[in-house]
């Protein structure tokens, strides 16, 4: 009967057959793995935080770009009244614009001043910028000349922009010589293009321009309900109507105190 001897090393020691890792080796491997995993997690968290910061900055820049573009467009159009300018004057030095509203001093209705601002008078003590102009995308041509400066105005009710007109809205009618601003006092949807600007009819509660009306008083013998001219009397296509609006922007210090919010 033969017996097999276990192999020995160079110094004659018997080598044992190794079947796996020892507990110490396993613990060392686990510690190293934990350090590596912690590093990977730190890199992931840092990358995620950087992504969130960059995303927030991108949104902030995009919002600022939109706000500045919007303000720039309104500023460029301030005082626009068709082919006329609300700041223009005639040979006598009189404004080419007549404001036939009863309230012409409130910021929303002072159309003789196309652009102004005030400090600390806005919402929550904010500074404000007021921009007044005709809405360029709302132009509707006159369909016939006016009979007089107090007569109704006949618009082209087949024009696509006519559908956007409503009772109690503010409107300007303009040619290249003058402009007049008034409030619509009838319902354009049921008038077949006829626009009225009757004096004294007050916009009711809950309606656009609540409490506003067309003036019925006279100052220096000029009836404020009279429009500046018989628009369309030379050629109907030269006179155009627009909706008019005042856009107000409020600017104040941000909550962080390091900048401004719009």
65 vs 22: which has the higher pLDDT? 65
**pLDDT-derived band of residue 168, with 50, 70 and 90 as boundaries?**
very high
pLDDT for residue 238:
73
pLDDT band at 18 (very low <50, low <70, confident <90, very high): low
- The Cα 81–Cα 104 span in angstroms is 17
- The dihedral region occupied by 182, where left means phi > 0, alpha psi between -120 and 50, and beta the remainder, is beta
Candidates 203, 34, 38, 5; CA nearest to 108 is 203
Q: Is 32 helix (H, G, I), strand (E, B) or coil?
A: helix
pLDDT the model gives residue 171: 92
pLDDT for 233: 63
State the average pLDDT over residues 76-93: 76
What 3-state class would DSSP assign to 64?
helix
Element housing 25 (H / E): helix 23-77
Segment 234-251, tens digit of pLDDT: 554 478 899 999 988 888
Average pLDDT over the chain reads 80
DSSP tag of 14: B
Predicted pLDDT at 236: 45
Q: Quick one: average pLDDT of 154-165?
A: 92
């Amino acid at each position: 009967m033969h017996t097999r001897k276990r192999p020995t090393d160079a110094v004659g020691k018997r080598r044992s057959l190794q079947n796996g890792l020892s507990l110490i080796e396993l613990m060392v491997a686990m510690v190293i793995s934990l350090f590596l995993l912690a590093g990977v997690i730190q890199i992931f968290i840092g990358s995620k935080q950087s992504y969130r910061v960059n995303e927030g900055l991108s949104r902030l820049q995009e919002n600022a770009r939109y706000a500045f573009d919007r303000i720039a467009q309104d500023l460029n159009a301030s005082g626009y009244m068709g082919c006329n300018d609300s700041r223009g004057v005639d040979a006598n030095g009189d404004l080419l614009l007549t404001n036939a509203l009863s309230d012409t001093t409130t910021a929303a209705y002072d159309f003789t001043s196309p652009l102004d601002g005030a400090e600390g008078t806005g919402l929550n003590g904010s500074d404000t910028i007021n921009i007044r102009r005709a809405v360029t995308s709302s132009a509707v041509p006159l369909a016939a000349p006016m009979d007089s400066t107090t007569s109704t105005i006949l618009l082209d009710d087949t024009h696509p922009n006519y559908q956007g007109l409503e009772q109690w809205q503010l409107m300007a009618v303009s040619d290249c010589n003058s402009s007049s601003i008034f409030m619509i006092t009838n319902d354009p949807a049921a008038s077949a293009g006829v626009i009225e600007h009757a004096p004294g009819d007050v916009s009711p509660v809950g309606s656009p321009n609540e409490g506003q009306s067309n003036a019925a008083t006279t100052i220096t013998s000029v009836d404020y309900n009279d429009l500046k001219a018989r628009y369309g009397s030379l050629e109907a296509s030269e006179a155009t109507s627009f909706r008019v609006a005042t856009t107000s922007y409020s600017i104040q210090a941000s909550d962080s105190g390091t900048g401004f919010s719009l």
